[in-house]
Chains A and B, each alone.
Chain A
């Protein structure tokens, strides 16, 4: 393997580890560390399906499950998660994220990379003793920062949008 191929493989490996941390930290409820994966001025976007045939492709005039143009939206979600006052979140649902089919979109460089992934999130809603599986695919834009690579943007497509009551930030 020549140097540039090894470099590329190392980059993808770093990116892969980062997006796997996204799922791991959520499952382990290490909320502050999870938040730190995202740059403060990140974009977090889970568009809604417009109808059965197409996912919404913009946010100016179409709805999203989540659309935040900074990390502040994620911080607010964690306020609710930690409040202990949300009936739907008490006890907190348990999750297991499986993130796979990771591949680079375009060329990864030392300055940035875009990775796509297929994700499955198993959720046990403890309060109702019911289970659900959310699944879909994501696209992450990653950048190096002072403490390591970070998430510049995460776009999530939820494939199964018939939702049993709750879709919280740790279900994606």
Chain B
């Protein structure tokens, strides 16, 4: 494992009100390789939802960084996760994104495995003249170091040295609850493969969702469409949010340990939420505070590459690193199990209108990511200036909004929408620097 001196990559001097990130963080191929080991190899990654592997022998395939992962529920109902490769020759084993299989058989030489990862067949074993050394080897699938679920979300880690998932998620857990408790019977993934790539670094998406500053510039064309919808014209089936109202709202953020952060905006048009008609049930089940927070627009970043986006329509989102300048986006539109059919249609039309490559929003974000990635080639240019908004408004610990939720973030901030803070990015880059430089946990207690 190799580490780098991150002082030349993340300039973090809170007492001087300075936070800068170097352009190389997004554009240097050698740093990208180190990220695969130091960041993706030493954190928890979102693998899928429990609803996707609800039945015995269900499986999904996922990624941690560039490592392919197989998540399977065995015949007895136990969940496990493995490297999605056959131990024979390292060939990718399961190819479907999801399915149900009593055995996973490698297409190459036919070795077979059960969903608990046990090797159940080596083709033509009896005739193989295997030496004792081979027989002594373990031919089972390689389990990953950790796999645990919280709130219906499955996370995995390649490293045994990560904190428990509970500690890793820490004070952010209520934001997972706010998403996964919207349905009285749990949440399910709506069928539909929302997948697209952009020619830019994975951290561009990491930043974008936590950055409200871009909304009125990047999504100006969406706001033009909403001008028309405000008159009752156009595709009003989408129940889309009018940002003219949104930009007048109070908003804020929290930074958490382990690189996570949350951005929130009060929701001007709560009635456009597909859960709005069933708020009484939700309120009786989760309480008034959590129910009100469910209606707010908010996005939670679970470092490094998982977001729970609930600003427009609720969705889970990963941004998978393929190379330093190429990333794959995957979205899961999640919805309450047993949702009323009319509300489900409402939810889907709203989601389709905004998200994915055919939506009104994502392509414009991606165009800016690609422009940024092209811009990083410029010389001489090193330190980016996009991490200062809100610095003088940050406060340590909980503000009144955090107190209302009963959480203790590392830092909080709240104000008018126009504040458009960039401090949500301090938490992930601090954690990035800690992992890339090899500092231990104890040394991460930098002032917020």
Chain A residues in contact with chain B, CB under 8 A?
46, 48-53, 56, 59-70, 72-73, 75-76, 79-80, 83, 85-89, 127-128, 130, 161-168
Whether a CB of chain A sits under 8 angstroms from the CB of B96 is yes
Which 8 residue pairs are nearest across A and B when measured between Cβ atoms?
Answer: A63-B192, A166-B363, A86-B221, A165-B366, A88-B363, A85-B220, A87-B367, A88-B367
B246 in contact (CB, < 8 A)? no
Residues on A with C-beta less than 8 A from B362 are 165
B98 and A51 contacting across the interface, CB-CB below 8 Å: yes
**Closest partner residue, chain A, to B362 (CB atom):** A165
Which residues of chain A have C-beta atoms less than 8 A from B194's C-beta?
48, 63
Chain B residues positioned under 8 Å from A80 (CB to CB): 221-222, 224-225, 360
Assess whether B356 is interfacial by the CB under 8 Å rule: yes
CB neighbours of A166 from chain B (8 A):
196, 357, 363, 366-367
Could you say which of B162-170, B228-236, B376-384, B394-402 contacts chain A? B228-236
Binding site for A on B (CB under 8 A): 96-98, 190-199, 218, 220-222, 224-225, 228-229, 233-237, 333, 341, 344-345, 348-349, 351-352, 356-358, 360, 362-364, 366-368, 370-371, 374
Partner of B352, one of A50, A63, A164: A63
B367 near A49 (CB under 8 angstroms)?
no
User: Separation in Å of the B248 CB from the closest CB of chain A?
Assistant: 21
Verify B364–A128 contact, CB threshold 8 A. Answer: no
Chain B residue at smallest Cβ distance from A86: B221
Residues in A neighbouring B348, C-beta threshold 8 A: 59-64, 67
Q: In whole angstroms, what is the CA distance A130 to B222 when docked?
A: 24
Chain A residues with CB under 8 Å of B374's CB are 128
Given A72-B235, A163-B196, A88:B364 Cβ within 8 A: yes
A53 and B191 alpha carbons, distance in the complex (Å): 12
- Asked, given contacts A59-B348, A87-B218, whether A165 binds B367 with beta carbons under 8 Å apart, the answer is yes
Q: Which residue of the partner chain, among B196, B199, B349, B357, contacts A130 with CB atoms under 8 Å?
A: B199
- Other than the given A59-B348, A79-B225, A127-B370, 13 more pairs (CB < 8 A) read A46-B358, A51-B191, A63-B191, A63-B348, A73-B237, A76-B225, A76-B228, A80-B222, A83-B224, A83-B225, A85-B221, A86-B363, A167-B356
Looking at the assembled complex, report how far the CB atom of A91 sits from the nearest CB atom of chain B, in whole angstroms.
11
Query: Shortest distance in angstroms between A114's beta carbon and chain B's nearest beta carbon?
Result: 24
**Contact assessment for A64 and B196 in the assembled complex, using a CB-CB cutoff below 8 Å:** no
Cβ B234 vs Cβ A79 within 8 A: yes
